[in-house]
Amino acid sequence: MSEGKIIKALSGFYYVLSGESIIQCRGRGVFRKKNVTPLVGDYVVFQSENETDGYIMEVKPRKNELIRPPIANIDQAILVFSAARPDFSSLLLDRFLAVIEANDITPVICITKMDLLSKEEKEKIDWYIDGYRSIGYEVFQLSAVTGDGLKQLDPLINGKISVLAGQSGVGKSSLLNSLHPSLEIKTADISDHLGRGKHTTRHVELLQIGGGLVADTPGFSSLEFPEMEAADLPFSFPEIQQYGENCKFRGCLHINEPGCMVKLAVESGEIRQYRYDHYQDFYYEIKNRKPRY
């Protein structure tokens, strides 16, 4: 028996990094019976007689996992959003942040395509960036074209397992190519008609970059909250959690309760209105979610 980490899952095969070798494995039938699906990022026990004919025997306990993208044991999520083409979406970014926070993963925000902005457009993006930094998030401004900001990511990635996530067309693959040119990951232009990118990444894979492992993931434009309860949502908004500690009622959800310090902080501008609006949107989405049986 040997141990390793799954770095790629494709067409029913799992590619396990063990030492300097990558072993192609299949999952044992026992996993299907137990409704366990090995994920990229899993630490596993496997057996093999050669590098193309292995079997995963055990999946080690996970410290965290995501459903979309399907990956486990993540140290940080690098959330890649474009300043333009497609336009920056604070709603989608806040949705990503809420899901990442709920899974106890450290989020890092990267705004790409800064070179495409006019002076006025940059001022608007800078306003958002200042807001996220005031909450405590790390925010990097990048351009894969000019190379601006890329060197800041090297120490961020070193020694960690990172997931690179964001909607299609924001420049995730271009960013990875800039960090590690030999990867030559396929990129695609934005469809001007649809205003969004064509999917260029078809599977999840951990790539060895800058002393760490980075997952390039299929692009997507929405995230749901299948496991989160409404009472958990405040913990996914750091500033709402902070002000909520002083609310009149324990368990205040910051919607209709009296003596809510969060709503007062919104009124005074200490919490930005758009963040609270998104919090409300997500709250009602969770409350109105159909139960799963």
113 labeled part of a ligand binding site: yes
Does 167 belong to an annotated binding site? yes
Q: Is 172 annotated as a binding residue?
A: yes
Ligand-binding annotation for 168, yes or no, is yes
Does 228 count as an annotated binding residue? Answer: no
171 is in an annotated binding site: yes
Q: Tell me if 210 is assigned to a ligand binding site.
A: no
> Does the annotation flag 112 for ligand binding?
yes
- Do the annotations mark residue 182 as ligand-binding? no
Confirm whether residue 217 is marked as ligand binding: no
174 is an annotated ligand-binding site residue: yes
Annotation-wise, does 247 bind a ligand? yes
Ligand-binding site membership of 252 (annotated): yes
- Partners of 106 in the β-ladder: 76
* Residue 115 labeled ligand binder: yes
Binding residues for Zn(2+) are: 247, 252, 254, 260
Binding residues are: 112-115, 166-174, 247, 252, 254, 260
Binding residues for GTP are: 112-115, 166-174
